[in-house]
Amino acid sequence: MLGSHRLYFRSSLAFLLLIALTLSGCVQDQPAATSTETTAATETETATSGSAENTVDLSGIKSYLVDQATALKSATAELKQHADTYYGAAEAQGFDYAALWEANAATVTDELEAARAVWMTASPLYEQIEGIVAGTPSLASYDVILDAGASGEDDPENAVPFDLTLPNGQVLPKPGNLFGVTESTLWGTFPAYTVGDVEADWNQNGALEFGETLPDANVLKAGADALDSYAGELLASAQAWEPTTTDAFTALVVMVPTMNEYFGSWRDSRFVVGETSTQRDFVAISRLSDIQDILGGLEIVYAELLPLAESVDTSQAAQIGTDLSGLRAFVADIYSQEQEGKRFTPEEADLLGVEAQDRATSITGRISQIAAQLGIEIEA
């Protein structure tokens, strides 16, 4: 997830609300309302909003978030264990990585492969709830920390709010989000986080291939520790959170129209441009997989809101659900082709991103219209 999606949302919110008003006929020329009519309309809107808040059951959103956050915390705890084991092995060799590799190549490889495997479990678990976390103002800071925040060097305005202190006392100021830190350390895509003077031929085939590097044990341990700690904080916050209709509609309106950014990230990744990619993260899992996970979580949010949407406009409510599912199916089809070996060009990725964004913008306009008719405020 890119940290700029909330900036994109702020710039597009007025446009989306204009779409909503246009669809509902609110921008047509009409006679000025009398003070009595205005008062009555205000009272009706307030009553509708209050009624919506009191009658809709959003417990399914919280249950889903807590269940996924619980599984995420379990996975990050396991990743922490593997990082600790690798750190202990490196420490025993005095952080002489050449000696570590010579003495324990098979064991080290097994440990790092296990760490990668559990990372690839943890990352999708977060993506499945990112739509809720990043789209809910009271939870959104966790998205910056875990998955969306940039490094202070790359983008000071959207940087993470923490420094990473390594076991050796070194401090990495605002290093970027923690999934990115751990991914680039485990897969060796950021030289500063890896050991460059050891030829670690993991599969012993005589050639160094992508990802065959040794992580800096201090960085891996600090990153895994922090990831596990913040995952625990997210779980606690999820357990305390009581979702409102404003939360739910805001999550949809913030997160659905972010396709351009996701597809742009995919276009620039090694899954499209190969070894020429300069991205440090999004190297282990295709962004197409992430997009499906995010949209799947948003579909759960909308399913909880569906009875409320149907109370306003049955046809419109059904169309939103159909279009959300259709958007996810559109992405799933592209991902399936990629998994079967098709290599899309950057130009194709751009065109597909435009179509996905067009679909997302239409969906968001409809959702905004329903929210407006219900008198539910969207929080930027």
Residue 282: its pLDDT value, please?
A: 94
User: Looking at the chain, which runs of residues are DSSP E strands?
Assistant: 164-165, 171-172, 194-195, 214-215
| DSSP H/E element including 293 | helix 287-312
> If the chain, 380 residues long, is cut into consecutive pieces of 10 residues, what is the mean pLDDT of each piece?
42 42 39 40 42 76 98 98 98 97 96 98 98 98 97 94 98 98 97 92 89 96 98 98 98 97 97 95 96 98 98 97 98 98 98 98 98 92
CB atoms within 10 A of CB 368: 26
Question: CATH 2.60.34.10: does it fit domain 59-374?
Answer: no
Cβ(2)–Cβ(260) under 8 Å?
no
Q: Going by C-beta distance under 8 Å and a sequence separation of 6 or more, which residues neighbour residue 341?
A: none
Residue 197: its pLDDT value, please?
A: 86
CB burial of 177-205 (b: ≥16 within 10 Å; e: otherwise) equals bbbbbbbbbbbbbbeebbbeebebebeee
215 φ, ψ to 5°? -70, 150
Mapping DSSP to helix (H, G, I), strand (E, B) and coil, where does residue 237 land? Answer: helix
Residue 213 structure tokens: 């590097």
Residue 27: its pLDDT value, please?
A: 35
Q: Going by C-beta distance under 8 Å and a sequence separation of 6 or more, which residues neighbour residue 27?
A: 18, 21
Residue 52: its pLDDT value, please?
A: 52
212 φ, ψ to 5°? -85, 80
Domain boundaries in the chain? 59-374
Residue 287 structure tokens: 């962004």
The one-letter code for the residue type at 300 is I
Cβ(371)–Cβ(260) under 8 Å?
no
Cβ(163)–Cβ(174) under 8 Å?
yes
Mapping DSSP to helix (H, G, I), strand (E, B) and coil, where does residue 137 land? Answer: coil
Residue 174: its pLDDT value, please?
A: 98
What is the widest separation between alpha-carbon atoms in the chain? 86
